[in-house]
Chains A and B, each alone.
Chain A
């Protein structure tokens, strides 16, 4: 009975065609034009006022960038660490914040708060907190007898320190997505499992984890893309340093842009776009294929 009705709906649209014009204009002006323009400018030597077509030279040059490989590796590491930690911490926090604890509503706001703060502000604050000798973190560690590391000045640690701050800032969003997923799981499943002899830990692994899979897919996808594009936090905290040890593709592109190589940095953006597509499209296809089974 539902079928013929829904087919009729599909054929006869609810709104007149011109309703979609405003959205189409905005999309065209703000998205399509810049995208194609940047594709074009990536093939030119471009100084804002004049551009000269030079073919793929920008791309050759971009791939010859001495620290590009490290930037690529850093970008992928950063994206994997942050999305992995956001999944794990977001789910655990969501489980905690959907259980019967005191101050639940208040704690939910606390967890979400960092999402609302400006990234640059967070970056500057944590740069101060992570100062090797005077930063609050190491001062606190010293009180319990631990010699805190040089969070942002040790080249093998800087990228990971920034990643931790990114997780701190972004985990609230993951938590909110997970909370929405968890409250949609009927309580009956947990009661049936309890009668089947399931401990709370077993219920988590056999019920909560598999049934929050749609939320997991959303969190992974969003935070992985966000991680690959990450720029502002890195720039605010390390500017890619020490040396080039925490450079990501986005920060490399920005440096080229700062140096006035507009065509080159535009080519870099095209490369970043392709990289994100190459990694994320198969990832979401994989995640959604498994999900479709339920």
Chain B
């Protein structure tokens, strides 16, 4: 069983601290996605798990063994690089078999494993090609094949799909999901694309500035983001925010109002909040609806009619622009005034420290 445990992992380059104490448990067979903006330390964290980067402080445990100083080949991992890193002078067959050859695996066993992997990826007819003779998608599969052949306990992926075009990316995403189901191995996947994270992950780890912001299932992160960063990062299109003041508190209910919004009652965890406090209200574009008696009003600044839904950019009184996704086709004019309501109180309150105040 190959679970992983990261205990207070840190990484510094000289005086610059890039990973600031990450604690994480990954159980066997889980598909975990590290997601966060560019430069937040996702690759660094993954490379420390792979053994390509020294761990400055903290402990890394893989399958119950402390691995801080274990060579990459002895960690039971395989890695797929963003650049694929296929050996250009070797054929696909040799790329697949390089690790086995170094491990002195007998030739017949090696051959069988290579052909098995090629069959899984449906590229048996390409085994004699060199990487330069393959398309981008095919190279991607070779990179994955090279990992499969090693039969690792843990697969590591560093933005593996970012060099593919959009259509191919969707295909490969599904293939990776299937692969995970078929092999049942632990997979750790790095991406800056939250859609990839939402669709692939059992568990998402949101990173920002070298700090874990939240760990949870995709739906948890979408429905109950713990702070402003996660709320803004997960979900597409992005959540809308506006500053509001607390008018009154009544048990688990709080009434807020602000420049952009008439008094509105929401449920929230009100511990420590008081009347007159300034908080941030967040609501997702899909949770707003056109409502003549709604609490929010603004002027239409852009309309995108997609047929099944209509994307509207709305300029609010405070000057903020909100994105609203309305069901069905709407004929809206530029500059027209629009009244909006929030569906089923689906709005979140974030306190001054940026922490979400969900009801328990």
Contact = CB atoms under 8 A, between A and B. Distances in A.
Interface in A187-244: 188-189, 191-198, 202, 206-207, 210-211
27 contacts: A186-B83, A186-B85, A188-B85, A191-B52, A191-B85, A192-B81, A192-B86, A193-B87, A194-B51, A194-B71, A195-B51, A195-B52, A195-B72, A195-B77, A195-B78, A195-B79, A195-B99, A196-B73, A196-B150, A197-B72, A197-B103, A198-B102, A206-B87, A211-B88, A211-B89, A293-B130, A294-B88
Nearest to B83: A188
A186 B85 CA distance: 8
B102 A202 contact: yes
B104 to A, nearest CB: 10
Interface in B37-89: 50-52, 71-73, 77-79, 81, 83, 85-89
B185 to A, nearest CB: 15
Given A211-B88, A294-B89, A294-B132, A193 B83 contact: no
B85 A189 contact: yes
B98 interface: yes
Given A197-B102, A198-B102, A206-B98, A192 B87 contact: yes
Interface of B: 50-52, 71-73, 77-79, 81, 83, 85-89, 98-99, 102-103, 130, 132, 146, 150
A158 to B, nearest CB: 41
Interface residues of A, number: 18
B130 A195 contact: no
A38 B90 CA distance: 49
A211 B71 CA distance: 24
A191 B47 CA distance: 10
Nearest to A194: B72
B72 A189 contact: no
B357 to A, nearest CB: 44
B88 A191 contact: no
Contact of B102 (A186, A196, A294): A196
A194 B89 contact: no
B98 A196 contact: yes
A294 B150 contact: no
A185 to B, nearest CB: 10
Given A186-B83, A192-B79, 18 more contacts: A186-B85, A189-B87, A191-B81, A192-B86, A192-B87, A193-B98, A194-B72, A194-B73, A196-B73, A196-B98, A196-B99, A197-B103, A198-B102, A207-B87, A210-B89, A211-B88, A211-B89, A294-B132
Contacts of B86: 192
Contacts of B102: 196-198, 202
A72 B85 CA distance: 47
A211 B86 CA distance: 12
Contacts of A196: 73, 98-99, 102, 146, 150
A229 B73 CA distance: 50
Nearest to B94: A206
Contacts of B130: 293-294
Nearest to B156: A195
Interface of A: 186, 188-189, 191-198, 202, 206-207, 210-211, 293-294
Contacts of A195: 50-52, 72-73, 77-79, 99
A196 B74 CA distance: 10
Contacts of B146: 192, 196
B191 to A, nearest CB: 18
Q: Which residue, A186, A192, A198, A210, has most C-beta atoms of chain B within 10 A?
A: A192
A189 B146 CA distance: 13
Contacts of A191: 52, 79, 81, 85
Contacts of A186: 83, 85
A206 B98 CA distance: 9
B163 to A, nearest CB: 13
Contacts of B72: 194-195, 197
Contacts of A188: 81, 83, 85
B245 to A, nearest CB: 53
Contacts of B132: 294
Nearest to A190: B85
A64 B73 CA distance: 65
Nearest to B53: A191
B145 to A, nearest CB: 13
A18 to B, nearest CB: 41
A199 to B, nearest CB: 8
B103 A192 contact: no
Q: Of B51, B89, B99, B130, which is in contact with the most chain A CB atoms at under 10 Å from its CB? A: B89
A257 to B, nearest CB: 48
Contacts of A210: 89
Contacts of B73: 194-198
A15 B55 CA distance: 57
Contacts of B52: 191, 194-195
Contacts of B78: 195
Nearest to B147: A195
A292 to B, nearest CB: 12
| Most chain B Cβ neighbours within 10 Å, of A186, A195, A202, A210 | A195
A192 B85 contact: yes
A44 B198 CA distance: 87
A122 to B, nearest CB: 37
Nearest to A207: B87
Contacts of A197: 72-73, 99, 102-103
Contacts of A202: 102
A182 B338 CA distance: 63
A211 B89 CA distance: 7
Contacts of A198: 73, 98, 102
Contacts of B89: 210-211, 294
Contacts of A189: 85, 87
